[in-house]
Structure 1
């Protein structure tokens, strides 16, 4: 394996390269945690480390050892190398280029937390390199990318966990919600509303010097080549230390070139639970209608006409026609969470509460024993990594598999396409294409910048 991108912390921060051989991690003092012996603990690597990348890494120390990290920002990479070293007693190897990680035979699985436009390329190449994959949500930037990932999972037999943690770590309330629906506690479901918040528009964001520590061309990767843009004001708290307004860093979610706004951010959580409860995780909608929406810039033929401001929808109300005549509303208004309404009642659930008469009635009329475990398919895992590793051992797909995730995410992608084109879309859930609308179908995929094609 070539290792010309492997670096120490000092060399990371200086932007230098060093040649060295990657080593297999020895047993650590914390190997006894979680599993019975050192040999039971898989070896992981994380690709993409800002914010959620560190979150999923630190949640996994109990179950796995980290041999390598990769990020295109030298400061982020260096900081995380130090944090992992402190946590597990040995520094992981550091790379700017994730392909160096895929070359290594000692790594069992990769955790991917890059911006969304990188997910599919890395995930597909990782599976072909023999790695199991944990990838943050939303899994894809386009619907066709989801079809490709499904094909490769089936072809390679690799285990693939999508990071929709409401199925595990925030699960108790959501599993109870699914069980309430499954056991008829609101009668026949008629409507489900997913509140996912809106976004703010941005001011004009000027072209700015690329930070010295950031490889901007590699950050863009498969996306079009554009200048780096940023305003000097820094974001506080989550995502701190980066510009509040930019076309990179935490703000990537606000640009269709790299993500899908709130529809694929919070939507990937709440629409997932809604589909799970409706039993629609392996089907899809018949129609997606943008009832009300605000795009922050002018669009022409589905594409923004300016490139210096956020372009994902800031406000929206989308109506989705689901199987069995269920109406789904996805809205930026109201409480963040999911409201289920049926012929016999309604209730609301989010990460902090589950409320409503059907929930109150549980005190006198509880769900049957094992109802929640029945929804989950067995004992509920303590976190997403534990479920992933259980699946790696059994060679069965985990609780958040690519098929159910993609079916749900198609609703979110179609909602964005409908707003960009300003019209309702009729969806063929079997063919997975828009009915009679070639222009809309052109948005099911995207051009890949030369030099960043998927290596298959």
Structure 2
């Protein structure tokens, strides 16, 4: 088995693109058994099915067969089992306990789309059970969880893809943005601004009976035992069909106990592209400064003083001092996307547009042939799952590897710690710890609830 950390991405993607073109994919369990069949498709299972769980599953049926689903909500589980059979004509088994999935020898990889506070436990246990892993972003709830996942990837040699899909999708717009920078179209970068939207607080949310079919204790898992809360108003649009205000379902992103608010949600996308463009995927900032922020509830010693309202930031401006003293600004103001400013110009990129004079100049002065592929490391995969499956065949890490993701996500985690404590943090990117602040360093990890510790 090759080294789990990518040593030559160009060679890796040339190999995996060839695998994708021929359809020659070998699942990890097959490799273990020493069997190689050009007709074999990898066998997947999805853990966590609501919204994004079904989204990544439905995109992946082109490349893999799904043998099992797991979800702690019986209604969500049953609904998605039916959708899979309708889409593929094949039935899958359903489980309320994800460990039943990990016990199966016929499953090569798992796709994890649970709330964030479950990601690390399931990911680690899946790798130790011999499964490759595709896990949604943000990968972790704390910085130390990221370090643990890195150790287990290295220990087991499993292939691990993080769901930061902007690296492959959105019409290659973000790859083109990085290619512009590498070709010197804006000169030396002097500032990067990531607009990731603000959020709203909530009314007081009462404790009510748990909805029928939902195993609330399992949903909480490693998090502290608390009552289920919800108001009757329902959410519309994406994430609809659930209460608008709750500590479960779609709104768990607004609670530090289960996620990191907008900082870890949109931040995990745009800060990822920003650090990639800066060439800082193997390093990090030396300082995080909370210039301004608003929290929806009162805090004391870094913890909310009430437990019946959303508690993640609603507005913020964070400055991360990146290598070369380049400021990386993360803000809730302005357009959602990334503004790159250099000594020779500037441009803006998001999922809908790539604009600015350097972009307009491409009409008369296009990028060199292969510039986008050079950013990616080879031919760009059809989508994120194609890249993952090809990496499973090559046994090398995919485009969204855990190391670059964790380095980027450390910025988002540190920003949240700085907001919670209301002060600037000095960060040692080599030791990966906060300098001279024992209280802040305590936020780098969390204690799992008894009975839900990581099984190692």
Q: Residues 437-452 of structure 1: matches in 2 within 5 Å? A: 437-452=437-452
Deviations 1:389-424 (A, max 9, x none): 000000010000000000000000000000000000
Distance of 1:367 and 1:109 partners within structure 2: 37
Residue 39 of structure 1 deviates from its aligned partner by 3.6
Residue 40 of structure 1 deviates from its aligned partner by 2.6
Distance of 1:324 and 1:170 partners within structure 2: 29
Q: Secondary structure at the match of 1:320?
A: strand
Distance of 2:224 and 2:451 partners within structure 1: 11
Aligned to 1:166: 166
TM-score calculated relative to the size of structure 2: 0.92
CA contact (8 A) 1:113 1:135 kept: yes
Distance of 1:425 and 1:128 partners within structure 2: 35
Q: Residues 109-188 of structure 1: matches in 2 within 5 Å? A: 109-170=109-170, 172-188=172-188
Q: Which moved more, 1:72-81 or 1:364-373?
A: 364-373
Residue 225 of structure 1 deviates from its aligned partner by 0.4
Distance of 2:104 and 2:71 partners within structure 1: 17
Q: Which runs of 4+ in 1 moved over 2 A?
A: 33-40
Q: Residues 355-366 of structure 1: matches in 2 within 5 Å? A: 355-366=355-366
Aligned to 2:209: 209
Aligned to 2:272: 272
Distance of 1:92 and 1:236 partners within structure 2: 29
Q: Secondary structure at the match of 1:59?
A: helix
Q: Residues 193-342 of structure 1: matches in 2 within 5 Å? A: 193-342=193-342
TM-score calculated relative to the size of structure 1: 0.92
Aligned to 1:3: none
Residue 165 of structure 1 deviates from its aligned partner by 0.4
Aligned to 1:12: none
Distance of 1:169 and 1:113 partners within structure 2: 18
Distance of 1:297 and 1:291 partners within structure 2: 19
CA contact (8 A) 1:229 1:247 kept: yes
Q: Secondary structure at the match of 1:348?
A: strand
Aligned to 2:343: 343
Equivalent pairs, count: 425
**1:35 and 2:30 matched:** no
Distance of 2:223 and 2:172 partners within structure 1: 38
Aligned to 2:32: none
CA contact (8 A) 1:73 1:213 kept: yes
Aligned to 1:27: none
CA contact (8 A) 1:165 1:171 kept: no
Deviations 1:9-45 (A, max 9, x none): xxxxxxxxxxxxxxxxxxxxxxxx9936874310000
Residue 431 of structure 1 deviates from its aligned partner by 0.3
Aligned to 2:424: 424
- Compared with structure 1, are the counterparts of its residues 395 and 171 closer, same or farther at alpha carbon in structure 2 (3 Å cutoff)? farther
Distance of 1:193 and 1:275 partners within structure 2: 11
Distance of 1:236 and 1:49 partners within structure 2: 18
Distance of 1:281 and 1:35 partners within structure 2: 31
Q: Secondary structure at the match of 1:40?
A: coil
Higher relative CO (Cα under 8 Å, sequence separation at least 6) belongs to 2
Aligned to 1:192: 192
Which consecutive residues of structure 2, in runs of 5 or more, have no partner in the other structure? 1-20, 25-36
Which consecutive residues of structure 1, in runs of 5 or more, have no partner in the other structure? 1-32
Residue 169 of structure 1 deviates from its aligned partner by 1.5
CA contact (8 A) 1:34 1:63 kept: no
Residue 62 of structure 1 deviates from its aligned partner by 0.4
Distance of 1:88 and 1:345 partners within structure 2: 49
Distance of 1:39 and 1:417 partners within structure 2: 49
Distance of 1:179 and 1:386 partners within structure 2: 22
Aligned to 2:18: none
Residue 183 of structure 1 deviates from its aligned partner by 1.3
CA contact (8 A) 1:34 1:62 kept: no
CA contact (8 A) 1:256 1:312 kept: yes
Distance of 1:237 and 1:38 partners within structure 2: 41
Q: Which moved more, 1:132-141 or 1:353-362?
A: 353-362
Distance of 1:144 and 1:219 partners within structure 2: 22
Distance of 1:289 and 1:114 partners within structure 2: 31
Residue 212 of structure 1 deviates from its aligned partner by 1.2
RMSD: 1.3
Deviations 1:95-120 (A, max 9, x none): 00000000000000000000000000
Q: Secondary structure at the match of 1:296?
A: coil
